[in-house]
Structure 1
Amino acid sequence: MIEFWLCAGLLLLTALAFLLIPVLRARKVQAEEDRTALNVTLYQERLLDLQGQHDAGALNAEQLANGRDEAARELLADTEGAQVRPIQRTLGSKIPLIAALLMPLLGFGLYQHWGAIDDVERARTFADQPKTIEEMTARLEAAVKNDPTSAESWYFLGRTYMAQERAGDASVAFERAIGVAGREPELLGQWAQALYFAGSKQWTPQLQALTDEALKGDPAEVTSLGLLGIAAYEAGQFQQAIGHWQQLVAVLPVEDPSRQAIQGGIDRAREQLGEPAADVTPAASQGLTVRVALAAELQAKVQPSDAVFIFARAVSGPPMPLAVKRLTVADLPAEVSLSDSDAMMPQLKISGFEQVQLVARISRSGNATAGEWIGSSQPVASKTTELQQLLIDSADGKTP
């Protein structure tokens, strides 16, 4: 902000110079003209004095002529070097001064009306990568406060809230995004998903209407298809869940790493129906798969309900996690998949970095950034297909 106002001040001084320099020059020329006029007046008075002395008989003709010559030489000496320039008096000297005084006020008023200082502030705010998800949330909250008409800011704020398991806040953010951008299928799907988790996974007529509207606008809307599959599975409607998830797999790109997680859901639904699991294609096996276990010496120090956060972060890049999954101690040991579909921010994906570090943290308070116990891996290639082993065996003394 300081740099902006310094640049604006320099531009203002430059503009004032164009107005004030001609005024100052005009004053200098005026002073020269005034001095010349005074010298001429003195010269004329001197001639009248010499003529008076001659008429009174005090000077003869020769002395009169010599006196006139002497007065003329003095006049020439006094006016030597003076340059008489015509002064443009059409506007007068006061108008440029008034304009110079009004210009800062006029410029400030016009900038307040048409300027984009808020955009400049937002650009500076997001210039540096946030170090934590809490910092990212604070930035987005400030962005929507400064510009409530930014659908993009509301959307990313909703995604960030979902990553923090703040589904109620996320539903409000997605609803605001829809109010600005319109009822876009993707936004409707995200809103429905947030409402579903905020409502303790209870399916409602509102959720059905939102997903129906989203799929009517875009039959390949992935969030709605995935949500319908989850809701059907939770309700024990395994055949319907398989149908929704198969539709989702059909519209996803072959290289999409989230296909593995979806295929895993389909396989679990088939097991519930007593059907054999389908073969997983190589394309569906993409993503980082990690097996998380708890060290034996920590078994008595944790509770089954303690939250377990498994995340991947870039070895060379922003310190905030790229992708996160949440389990409980009761789920351990467990295998989870971390892929681009789990990205906390669309522009920060696992595939965008050559190496990542895998971390698992146990937090009794449910805080993803601080806990009691932790386990971490050595740097691994982000495109590796080998199963990674992660053991939680150390006291947690720092945040990610």
Structure 2
Amino acid sequence: MILIWFILGIMTLATAVLLALPLFDTRKFKNEIVFALEVYRDQIQELNRDAAAGLIAPDQAKQAQIEIERRILALTESPQWQPARAPSHGMLVTAAVLLPLLGFGLYLWLGEPGLPGQPFAHEANAIVTSPEIARLQDAVAERPNDAAAWVALAAGYGAAGQPTDSATAYGKAVALGANDSDTLAAYGQALLMASGGEMTEPANAAFRRALAADPSNPIARFFLALGRAQAGDVEGALADWMALAAETPADAPWRAMLDNHIAKATQRLGRAPVPSPGAEDAPAAGPSAAEIAAAESMSPAEREEFVNAMVTRLAERLQAAPEDLEGWIRLARAYQVLERGDDARAAWGKAAALAPARLDIQLDYADAIIAGRNDIDRYLPPEFIEAVKRARTLDPKNPLGLYYGGLVARVAGDRAEAQRLWQQVLDQLPAESPQRAILQKELESLLP
């Protein structure tokens, strides 16, 4: 047994000497700037990822980039190459020879070679957690089947900047039955952050489950629209963000971020800034950004033929797959771009029948029904009244639903109800909104 340990000791000593030999070479040089540039380059890449994912405001991202570039320029003021410091031979001998021998001797004296190993123990001991996280982890350990404890831990991880751990904890909570809309939306957001801001299939599925539980959930609606933008459907994303903005209070904490994404999407599509998201005259969504870019290089006749062929192919495909909700939405928007009102109305009707719990679709269907009509102060089609009824059941406070409800009440002769509903819309409009004056005139027209 002693012979074995002696051989192992000789092998350890030989390995240490071999590893230490390069340290005696004092002819090498080192470049401190290389390491600093690598750090700054990584910082810029991370900053660009955060800005692209909407995690940091554009002006803040610009300021941070300027500061990093200033530090890079400052590196040129210091010497680029410096000779490596000659190591102390006494220190090298101590590190390469004496310390291994001393450690080997102590192990023979105090060690227990027969003691069973503890795999991964060092990783567990290396994790440093805050007292709050530790408390939440203890709560989960005490109640491992309590979904609420897992939700609290997931939120704690998220606040601590640990999205991967947060997503894992939310996944456990969902598996234990925490299927409410807010938890599912938070789960999707954690998955999104864990993937560096890129929409993944698990995150998309979590957001869609959140929307099924509560069609008005703003977090799920915002990030699903972000996923559409990342996939190239900027038109669809803009339409979804506009619908969300119409229902979002001006003082909501996420309103500024929402308005910023609407502005960027509008600019990307080459449109004029939209003054009031959610208004009746908001631009309708149509083909994808890729298709629009392809059509821009064509002549008018070629463009018309291209668009009509695209729409025809989509319509034919939907005849074979009538349950494709997103396909009907896309077809309806394409018909709106082509100003084919009857076809757009029929396509929105298909989508509304497939998704009776989707507020945005019911409102789009209602809008398509009355688009182009000049007699809505005297007559409203029955399908419009039914669509408005469904929308108002889904969200009684939605401003567009309230406005359409006022139209229905006015035609029915209930001026008092129309005035009550439109006053609620007026109360939600920002003070600078141009729609306030228009709605105020309609309210005045209801007065005796």
Do they fold alike, i.e. is TM over 0.5?
Answer: no
Structure with the greater alpha carbon radius of gyration: 1
User: Shorter-chain TM-score: which interval?
Assistant: 0.3 to 0.5
TM-score normalised to structure 1 length:
0.34
**Structure 1 or 2: larger helix share?**
2
TM-score normalised to structure 2 length:
0.30
**Structure 1 or 2: larger strand share?**
1
Which structure has more relative contact order (CA 8 Å, sep 6+)? It is: 1
